[in-house]
């Protein structure tokens, strides 16, 4: 499983440098894949932060999971969790 997460400012405002996606949790039934993001970074627009996780379990394709992304404010250490239900694992060839 490879997972790509996007943190998007819906007002198209630049995401501050001290806000970062730091970890993700992918939940499938009673199983949870906890992963740190890789250091890979593809170029995006300033209001989108993209992070990638690799080497996950062999779930899918066509399986629904819940994805939780941990967001950290590095200026004060605050942690926030964003959740997306009903995310489909697709096959890419």
Region of 75 on the Ramachandran plot (φ > 0 left; ψ -120 to 50 alpha; else beta): alpha
Global model pTM greater than 0.95 = no
- For residues 50 and 43, what is the distance between their CA atoms, to the nearest angstrom? 8
Mean pLDDT of 65-90: 97
Q: Is 77 exposed, middle or buried (0-12, 13-18, 19+ CB in 10 A)?
A: exposed
> Does pLDDT of 91 surpass 70?
yes
- Per-residue pLDDT of 10-68, as tens digits, reads 999 999 999 999 999 999 999 999 999 999 988 899 999 999 999 999 998 899 999 99
Rounded CA separation 13/19 (Å): 13
């Amino acid at each position: 499983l490879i997972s790509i997460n996007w943190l998007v400012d819906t007002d198209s405002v630049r995401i501050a440098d001290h806000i970062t996606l730091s970890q993700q949790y992918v939940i499938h039934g009673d199983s949870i894949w906890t992963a740190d993001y890789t250091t890979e970074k593809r170029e995006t627009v300033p209001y989108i932060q993209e992070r990638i996780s690799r080497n996950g379990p062999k779930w899918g394709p066509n399986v629904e999971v819940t994805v939780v992304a941990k967001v950290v404010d590095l200026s004060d250490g605050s942690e926030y969790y964003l959740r997306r239900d009903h995310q489909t694992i697709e096959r890419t060839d």
